[in-house]
Amino acid sequence: MNSKIEISYYPFLIKFNELKGTASFAVPFIKPATMGKLMLLLAVSVMAYAFTSFYKKSIKDSMTYTKDTKFRFEMATAKDYENASMNQTVGFVMEKDDAKKVDGTIYLNIDEAWKPIKNLKGLSTKKANFNYLGKNNAINKYLIAAHIPNKIIKWYLIDKKTGNATMLGSEPVFSTNQSIFATLKHIPDFENRKNSIHIWKVNKTTNASTVNKHITSKNTNWIPLEMQWETETSIIIKTILRKNDAHLNSNLTNNHFSFIRMVITP
């Protein structure tokens, strides 16, 4: 006796004939408009899968080629990033009489005296607009941002005791005990330069503190966008594939992002 099995998966029908060892595939009549929608859905699904696979391969390739013994990369998830974001340290706070602005120039309270902030390293123009972003008592430093017309923003840590300035690539993100922080540097694609993640260590003394760049990780395939410290030695990084840099201001979906865990070696 013939043994037949029919499996219906709309709008398709698959028939198996066990005795003859054959299978047939049938597509019942479907209206052209419906078929068009189905084909579009299939195409979008295939493209999304291909994009995600290529993106993850690029991430894994960059991990494979990392030879720095000070850190390593691991794949992480959106849930890891969300969990880490719930336990972040407030880096800077604003308090009265720490800063003032006179005729467009920021004055900071440096060693109990008002001193103007100007002629900072890395600024080739006098047209930069400075904004005061607060102070961090744990490292004894102020944070200011220099907005350069039609260009990028540069951040500076200003020591409260000496007035010495340290230029950063982005606003620093501190670990829980504030002994270490991370910054990003995103270079536009047309400049043909690499994006990088910088890990800084804070060295505290009795009356002052210094910061030193501990790790620089340069990346060619993916762009770091945001970071959240997970522990004192691991940080979760939200990234996007480098070739999608031009679409950063577009309506991106979760499929465009990937998450990486950067583990700092003690």
User: CA 231 to CA 234: how far, in whole Å?
Assistant: 5
Quick one: tokens of 157?
Answer: 């840590």
What is the predicted pLDDT for the residue at 200?
Answer: 93
- Residue 260 burial by CB count (10 A; 0-12/13-18/19+): exposed, middle or buried? buried
Q: Taking the mean position of all CA atoms in its chain, how far away is CA 144?
A: 21
What is the predicted pLDDT for the residue at 245?
Answer: 54
CA distances from 129 to 93, 123, 188 (A): 20, 11, 22
User: CA 237 to CA 254: how far, in whole Å?
Assistant: 14
pLDDT tens figures, 26-47: 545 555 666 666 666 666 555 5
What is the predicted pLDDT for the residue at 70?
Answer: 86
What percentage of the chain's residues is helix, strand, coil (to nearest 5)?
Answer: 20, 45, 35
Confidence of residue 144 (pLDDT cuts 50, 70, 90): very high
CA distances from 38 to 13, 25, 34 (A): 15, 17, 6
Instruction: Flag whether pLDDT at 190 surpasses 50.
Output: no
Q: In what order do the strands lie in the sheet with 129-136?
A: 129-136, 141-147, 153-159, 165-168
What is the predicted pLDDT for the residue at 16?
Answer: 45
Residue 230: CB atoms within 10 Å: 21
- How do 113-116 and 105-110 pair as beta strands? antiparallel
Instruction: Flag whether pLDDT at 187 surpasses 80.
Output: no
pLDDT tens figures, 45-62: 555 555 455 555 555 555
pLDDT tens figures, 82-141: 999 988 888 898 888 889 888 878 899 998 899 988 778 777 656 778 889 999 988 899
Quick one: tokens of 195?
Answer: 């994006």
pLDDT tens figures, 191-225: 445 678 999 999 887 667 888 888 888 776 778 88
What is the predicted pLDDT for the residue at 8?
Answer: 41
